[in-house]
Amino acid sequence: MSTNVSDAARPETAPQSAAAPHAGRYYRRFGFIERLMHAGLMFTFIGCALSGLPLLFPYTGWGRALAALMGGFEGAALVHRVSATVMVIVFVSHIFQFLWRGLASGNILSVLWGPDSLMPQPKDIVDLYQHVKYFLGLGPRPNFDRYTYWEKFDYMAVFWGMFIIGGSGLMLWFAVPLSHYVPGWMFNVATLVHGEEALLAVGFIFTIHFFNGHVRPEKFPMDLVIFTGRVAEHELKEERPEEYARLVREGRLVQIETTPPSARAIAFGRAIGGTALVLGIVTIVLILYGLLVG
Amino acid sequence: MSTCASVTHVTLPHRDSRWRAGEVHAPRERPAGARSTQPRRPMQPAQLLKALALSLTIGLAAAANAADPNETCMMCHADASAKGAGGKSIAVDAAGFARSVHGEMQLKCTDCHADVSADKLPHPEKLKPPACANCHEDAAARFAGTVHGKARADGRTIAASCRDCHGAHDILRTSDPASRTNHVNLEQTCAACHGNEALIKKANLPGGNIAGMYHDSIHGRLLHEKGSRQAMAPECTDCHGTHDIRAKSEKASRVARANIPATCGNCHQREKTVFDKGMHGKMLQAGNAAAPVCTDCHTAHTIQETTRPQWQLAVIGQCGNCHDDFISSYRLTYHGKVTNLGFANIATCAACHGAHDVRPASDPLSKVSAENRLATCRTCHAEAGPKFASWDPHPQPRNKERSAILYYTWIFMQALLAGVFVFFGLHTVLWAYRSLRTALARKRGNR
């Protein structure tokens, strides 16, 4: 199965790959726009989480302290709504970028299907099955392509979340004008859905996404690719053998070769990513505490 | 962290140095000379001899000249350092007595101390307590029925007697601003016991340090102001009575549950009228022992302005004492969450249900009746549309009968959360296991 994994290319210790600039070749994985959008989502997500969580745990000391820190519920609402608005702007601009990329490539279907698309496809089911077998020691690691199934899940979850949380949030924000058109009980449903979905999103990002993308032993403490945009050759080969083989086959590998990430980019990524990681993990601890005492 | 239901002792610790528990019988502002403030010194043997000799002399003199018996008494008792055989001061402040209401009336010492006779001096060391009842028949008879009188009759002599509230030789008319029983001094008079921690503990006084609580309440703070506002402030006896103070368990007590609206209504007539017509008032009139009265929401001794956010938040907890299921559903709404976070400028119970005029939703006059509900919402949400009031301010997602759509939404969300976290939780655990094993194997291989 793992035909493309060359044992010689395997680094001695995996974490080294995410550390200091590597001597080997580097390839561009994410462009500036993608990195900017991830950063935008990151900041607005944390902004929404920190200003919204006190309402889910109003009986905790930390909830009260956090709300007071933001200047009461009006202040928290302002932080929440500004964050949410920026997040929606990021989301909408992504849709435009997505369509633009499709149109520019001459084939809009290329962003909706195929190995370079983020849409779930049959291979993802196979990959998931094989990955679980690999976890259990029953088979080799699957040959992942450019986007793995868990990355696609994270991506699609943003769409789901954006409609569910964004929709219910907008309903609650504009409840009074909306009440001329929709019945009041819809706001009860919106409140319930908004809170539960928020707990799901926060819980998922700050545990599952953090583990999958960052803190698992191969990436510990974090994968800087979303901050620097660059991936080391050995890492690409090992992590995404199918993509590597495809790039070689199609002769595109040389096109995306780039310089190693600068020390500054690495420091920047570590500062931003590290802060987000710590904030997220602290938040999870506070949520667990809130659930326990609640 | 507990909810904000704690009592708000807003002015503690006492900024008013004039007022200290245990010291209240001697406020520093009381006019000089009103009471004896002579320092006590231990008596030297020489002094003792001198005093004894003096007593003998006076005894002889009194026997010879009985024209003014008080003067005879004062020959011994005027000496500020005079002490009895037991070492207790026997000094009487003549000037203080002269200013007192009894002094004004030119009463003789023996009018109260009837077991002393000028013919037999020096009189016995131990005298009977003065019989106030000889003159104050009515007051004494009524006192016997009070909580203090009954306690004393039961042998609990720690309970207040006439003297504990009125004083002894320095009794002033209640209208006198220096009187212990004057409006402005009564707080301190009662606090001698009900604000004295040691005594509260010793006598197991009900309610604890109620004088301290009262001191910081809206009534207490009003009392510490000057002028007409001070005159307006109720003190202890305005609610509890004087020679009719009874335990609240007694039906005749002014502070028995059933009588509280009437007692508070003495000043707060308008509120009482509204309360009487409301649900809680009607329950009380029907003899329902569970009916809330003024003090259930406002407390008895820690009453605060209703505009205070701390009070507005605390009173939610008071409503919850009876309506706890409504509180838990209220806590699921934005209103309930924000108040739980400690901010009061959002709908509390009273904002929708009213306060003294609270009525069941079935009553057309209720603020939350089908007819009035939207108007009530619009007191805050001025632009609310006609369908706004179908929002449930007490949602119960687990109650299918109340709202099926909310119930199924809740089920769906629970299943979604459980599904995602169980699936990815397992995925993560397995992955972590595999990754750690691989990393360990690699490490061993490198050695």
Q: Are A73 and B346 an interchain contact pair (Cβ–Cβ within 8 Å)?
A: yes
Distance from CA of A275 to the nearest CA of B (A): 22
Q: Are B338 and A55 an interchain contact pair (Cβ–Cβ within 8 Å)?
A: yes
Q: Are B403 and A185 an interchain contact pair (Cβ–Cβ within 8 Å)?
A: yes
Residue B389 near residue B375, CB atoms below 8 Å = no
Percent composition of chain A: helix, strand, coil (DSSP 3-state, to 5): 70, 5, 25
pTM as predicted = 0.78
CB-CB neighbours of B243 under 10 Å: 19
Respond yes or no on whether the N-terminal peptide bond of residue B122 is cis (omega within 30° of 0). Answer: yes
Residue type for position B364? P
Q: Are A73 and B341 an interchain contact pair (Cβ–Cβ within 8 Å)?
A: yes
Q: Are B428 and A212 an interchain contact pair (Cβ–Cβ within 8 Å)?
A: yes
Neighboring chain B residues of A59 at a CB cutoff of 8 Å: 1, 3, 340
Comparing CB atoms, the residue among A67, A203, A216 nearest residue B432 is A216
Does any CB of chain B come closer than 8 Å to the CB of residue A160? no
DSSP output for B164-219: HHH-STT---TTSTTSTTSTTTHHHHHHHHHT-HHHHHHHT-TTSSHHHHHHHSHH
Contacts 24+ apart (CB under 8 A), B222-226: B223/B184, B223/B187, B224/B16
Q: Check residue B58 and give its pLDDT.
A: 54
**Among chain B residues, CA nearest to A76:** B338
**Among chain A residues, CA nearest to B374:** A184
Residues 208-267 of A with CB under 8 A from B: 208, 211-212, 216-218
Identify each DSSP E strand in chain A by its residue range: 26-28, 230-232, 257-258
Query: What six digits make up the tokens of B167?
Result: 């004083």
Distance from CA of A90 to the nearest CA of B (A): 25
Q: Is the pLDDT of residue A193 over 50?
A: yes
Q: Is the pLDDT of residue A266 over 70?
A: yes
**Among chain B residues, CA nearest to A189:** B406
User: What 8-state DSSP symbol labels residue A15?
Assistant: G
Domain edges within chain B: 45-124, 160-298, 309-390, 403-447
**Among chain A residues, CA nearest to B398:** A192
Residue B292 near residue B257, CB atoms below 8 Å = no
Q: Check residue B398 and give its pLDDT.
A: 95
Residue type for position B385? G
Neighboring chain B residues of A205 at a CB cutoff of 8 Å: none
Q: Check residue B59 and give its pLDDT.
A: 54
Contacting residues for A206 by C-beta, under 8 A, at least 6 apart? A280, A281, A283, A284
Residue B360 backbone zone (phi > 0: left; psi -120 to 50: alpha; other: beta)? beta
Distance from CA of B365 to the nearest CA of A (A): 22
Least confident range of A115-119, A222-226, B36-40, B363-367: B36-40
* Most A-contacting residue of B335, B388, B408 (CB-CB within 10 A), to test interface: B388
Neighboring chain B residues of A217 at a CB cutoff of 8 Å: 432, 435-436, 438-439
**Among chain B residues, CA nearest to A204:** B421
Q: Check residue A219 and give its pLDDT.
A: 87
Does any CB of chain A come closer than 8 Å to the CB of residue B385? yes
**Among chain A residues, CA nearest to B429:** A135
* Most A-contacting residue of B2, B407, B434 (CB-CB within 10 A), to test interface: B434
CB-CB neighbours of B186 under 10 Å: 21
Q: Are B385 and A180 an interchain contact pair (Cβ–Cβ within 8 Å)?
A: yes
Residue B440 backbone zone (phi > 0: left; psi -120 to 50: alpha; other: beta)? alpha
Residues 181-200 of B with CB under 8 A from A: none
Q: Check residue A114 and give its pLDDT.
A: 87
Residues 275-294 of A with CB under 8 A from B: none
* Most B-contacting residue of A5, A13, A176, A199 (CB-CB within 10 A), to test interface: A176
Does any CB of chain A come closer than 8 Å to the CB of residue B439? yes
**Among chain A residues, CA nearest to B4:** A59
Q: Are B405 and A197 an interchain contact pair (Cβ–Cβ within 8 Å)?
A: no
Residue B354 backbone zone (phi > 0: left; psi -120 to 50: alpha; other: beta)? left
Does any CB of chain A come closer than 8 Å to the CB of residue B397? yes
Neighboring chain A residues of B334 at a CB cutoff of 8 Å: 55, 172, 191
Residues A19-57: pLDDT tens digits? 444 468 999 999 999 999 999 999 999 999 999 999 999
Q: Are B343 and A73 an interchain contact pair (Cβ–Cβ within 8 Å)?
A: yes
Q: Are B334 and A55 an interchain contact pair (Cβ–Cβ within 8 Å)?
A: yes
User: Can you tell me the distance from the alpha carbon of A10 to that of B441, in angstroms, rounded to the nearest whole number?
Assistant: 14
Does any CB of chain B come closer than 8 Å to the CB of residue A13? yes
Share of chain B above pLDDT 90, in %: 66
**Among chain B residues, CA nearest to A141:** B434
Does any CB of chain A come closer than 8 Å to the CB of residue B372? no
Distance from CA of B403 to the nearest CA of A (A): 9
Taking one residue from A and the other from B, the number of pairs with CB-CB distance under 8 angstroms is 142
**Among chain A residues, CA nearest to B3:** A59
Distance from CA of A117 to the nearest CA of B (A): 23
Which segments in chain B show pLDDT lower than 50? 1-40, 64, 66
Neighboring chain A residues of B388 at a CB cutoff of 8 Å: 175-176, 179, 184
Q: What is the ipTM of this complex?
A: 0.89
Neighboring chain B residues of A201 at a CB cutoff of 8 Å: none
Does any CB of chain B come closer than 8 Å to the CB of residue A71? no
3-class SS of residue B89: strand
Q: Is the pLDDT of residue A6 over 80?
A: no
User: Can you tell me the distance from the alpha carbon of A41 to that of A45, in angstroms, rounded to the nearest whole number?
Assistant: 6
